[in-house]
């Protein structure tokens, strides 16, 4: 294992999928598979023992599911970079995992490139949501979250524009292209926005933007 390797712990109750994920991760540079868990309880225990940089976990598992495990891992501060890897994108589990502290959410159908991008993004403490999930975040969050706006916060015009584009389901790459910025610059602005409003995920940015009036949902694109 190289010093720069990202140490990953995976959890899934299906042996076949774990085997496939293990094979996939072995193809990625600077990724080191620390271990595997077959349920949430084992995931919590191994997180305490192995101190992973990144956790990839399924939601539906026996004994303890991924939501409970994520909540416990975050509560005990065992790992704060958790990616949900699931076969479905139902609304309720997305909200529960966001509230539990997950920083990334991708489908099990994701290819090697997307899984690699998700790991590297979350490793930098930045949220990552696959296209399928990002496309529904605005609607999901607007229906289920409440976050009173802070009138004392001052956002630059660029920060406001980035917030609007996030609400319009743009990815960091798409925002960078639209605003003619580098992806790293966009991520830097996003981090500062999250720091200002005290958000832990994209869900927090969307909530604040909609509650404060920075973004107003309309029948047509703004």
Q: For residues 7 and 10, what is the distance between their CA atoms, to the nearest angstrom?
A: 10
pTM: 0.68
Q: With 90 as the cut, is the pLDDT of residue 134 above it?
A: no
What is the residue-wise DSSP string for 132-157?
HHHHHHHHHHHHH------TT----H
Domain contains 61: yes
Q: What is the pLDDT of residues 164-187, one digit of tens each?
A: 998 887 888 889 999 999 988 998
Q: Please check whether residues 60 and 121 belong to one and the same domain.
A: yes
Residue 204's pLDDT is 73
Q: What is the pLDDT of residues 81-113, one digit of tens each?
A: 999 988 765 667 777 887 788 888 888 888 888
Domain contains 217: no
For the chain, give the mean pLDDT: 83
Provide the number of structural domains found in the chain.
2
Domain contains 19: yes
Q: Please check whether residues 70 and 164 belong to one and the same domain.
A: no
Domain contains 221: no
Domain contains 193: yes
Among 83, 100, 129, the domain-final residue is 129
Domain contains 71: yes
Domain that holds residue 46: 6-129
List the CATH number of the domain containing 172. Answer: 1.10.10.10
Helix (H/G/I), strand (E/B), else coil: 36:
strand
Q: Please check whether residues 100 and 160 belong to one and the same domain.
A: no
Domain contains 218: no
Among 98, 129, 160, the domain-final residue is 129
**What is the DSSP-derived secondary structure letter of residue 5?**
P
Among 76, 100, 129, the domain-final residue is 129
Q: Please check whether residues 120 and 33 belong to one and the same domain.
A: yes
Domain contains 222: no
Q: Please check whether residues 11 and 94 belong to one and the same domain.
A: yes
Report in angstroms the alpha-carbon separations of 67 from 43, 57, 105, 185. Answer: 11, 9, 12, 32
Residue 221's pLDDT is 39
What is the residue-wise DSSP string for 78-134?
S-S-EEEEES---HHHHHHHHHHT--EEEETT--HHHHHHHHHHHHTT--EE-HHHH
């Amino acid at each position: 294992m190289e010093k720069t390797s990202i140490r990953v712990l995976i959890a899934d109750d299906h042996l076949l999928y774990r085997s496939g994920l293990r094979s996939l991760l072995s193809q990625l540079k600077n990724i080191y598979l620390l271990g595997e868990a077959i349920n949430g309880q084992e995931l919590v225990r191994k997180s305490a023992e192995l101190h992973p940089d990144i956790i990839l976990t399924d939601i539906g598992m026996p004994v303890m599911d991924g939501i409970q495990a994520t909540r416990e891992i975050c509560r005990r501060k065992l790992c704060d970079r958790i990616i949900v890897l699931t076969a479905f994108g139902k609304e309720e589990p997305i909200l529960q995992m966001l509230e539990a502290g997950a920083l990334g959410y991708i489908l099990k159908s994701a290819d090697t490139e997307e899984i690699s991008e998700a790991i590297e993004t979350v490793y930098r403490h930045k949220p990552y949501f696959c296209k399928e999930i990002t496309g529904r975040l605005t609607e999901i969050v607007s229906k289920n979250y409440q976050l009173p706006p802070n009138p004392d916060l001052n956002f630059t015009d660029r920060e406001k524009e980035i917030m609007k584009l996030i609400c319009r389901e743009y990815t960091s790459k798409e925002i960078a292209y639209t605003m003619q910025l580098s992806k790293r610059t966009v991520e830097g602005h996003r981090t500062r926005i999250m720091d200002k409003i005290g958000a832990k995920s994209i869900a927090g940015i969307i909530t604040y933007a909609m509650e404060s009036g920075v973004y107003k949902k309309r029948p047509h694109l703004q």
